[in-house]
Chain A
Amino acid sequence: QKEVEQDPGPLSVPEGAIVSLNCTYSNSAFQYFMWYRQYSRKGPELLMYTYSSGNKEDGRFTAQVDKSSKYISLFIRDSQPSDSATYLCAMSDFGNEKLTFGTGTRLTIIP
């Protein structure tokens, strides 16, 4: 079993819809949670960063962490065609700086 599980999709939604992306994990030591966006053949771009449990909002993006369920989510409101990309969750534990990534969810926003 992988430490971080992420539905690879692909996920297609119409423009303007709310998108929900999720990851589950098994390592209870994970404290730092990140979402990256990766366009085809490009480097991952850091979108959201959260520490421990709770919510964080940045513009159209909201990240949620539920440590009790070992479950994290990324919500995208008012989705745009430019949001079409692969979204990767990543996590690390305190004192260990390596990131453990999910496999990524490929998202397509249909105009």
Chain B
Amino acid sequence: DSGVTQTPKHLITATGQRVTLRCSPRSGDLSVYWYQQSLDQGLQFLIQYYNGEERAKGNILERFSAQQFPDLHSELNLSSLELGDSALYFCASSDTTGMNEQYFGPGTRLTVT
């Protein structure tokens, strides 16, 4: 158990809908990262937050957004969902004290029908 928690485990929704994925980092970690894992693209970095502020952005679609709250949990919002958004979404956290060891949560499996 990495100490990173994610909810829900599974999500099934229809095209055009909006969903919110939640992540709680390990105790003491200030950085949260979101990754998408699909069969054809592998694990892709989406976005990073550090202590409430956006720190880095990857290949994140404009339909996707994220935020990190004062208690350090983070939410990833996916809107106008398309079939191609079906994937595993992982959250990772690190303490960013120089070494970039990232610890991953169990993921949320999103299925768009």
Contact = CB atoms under 8 A, between A and B. Distances in A.
A98 B45 contact: yes
B107 A43 contact: yes
Given A97-B31, A97-B96, A45 B104 contact: yes
Contacts of B94: 97
Interface residues of B, number: 27
A46 B102 CA distance: 8
A43 B92 CA distance: 9
Given A45-B2, A97-B33, 13 more contacts: A43-B2, A46-B2, A46-B104, A49-B99, A51-B99, A88-B43, A97-B55, A98-B33, A99-B43, A99-B100, A100-B45, A101-B43, A104-B43
A62 interface: no
Contacts of B31: 97
Interface of A: 32, 34, 36, 41-46, 49, 51, 88, 90, 92, 96-104
Contact of A98 (B42, B48, B103): B48
Q: Which of B2, B43, B94, B100 has the most CB of A within 10 A?
A: B100
Interface in B81-113: 88, 90, 94, 96, 99-107, 109
A-B pairs, top 8 by smallest CB distance, nearest first, are A43-B104, A101-B43, A98-B45, A103-B42, A44-B104, A43-B106, A43-B107, A32-B100
A58 to B, nearest CB: 13
27 contacts: A32-B100, A34-B101, A36-B104, A41-B88, A41-B107, A42-B106, A42-B107, A43-B2, A43-B104, A43-B105, A43-B106, A46-B101, A46-B103, A49-B99, A90-B43, A96-B56, A97-B31, A97-B48, A97-B100, A98-B45, A98-B48, A98-B56, A99-B33, A99-B100, A99-B102, A104-B42, A104-B43
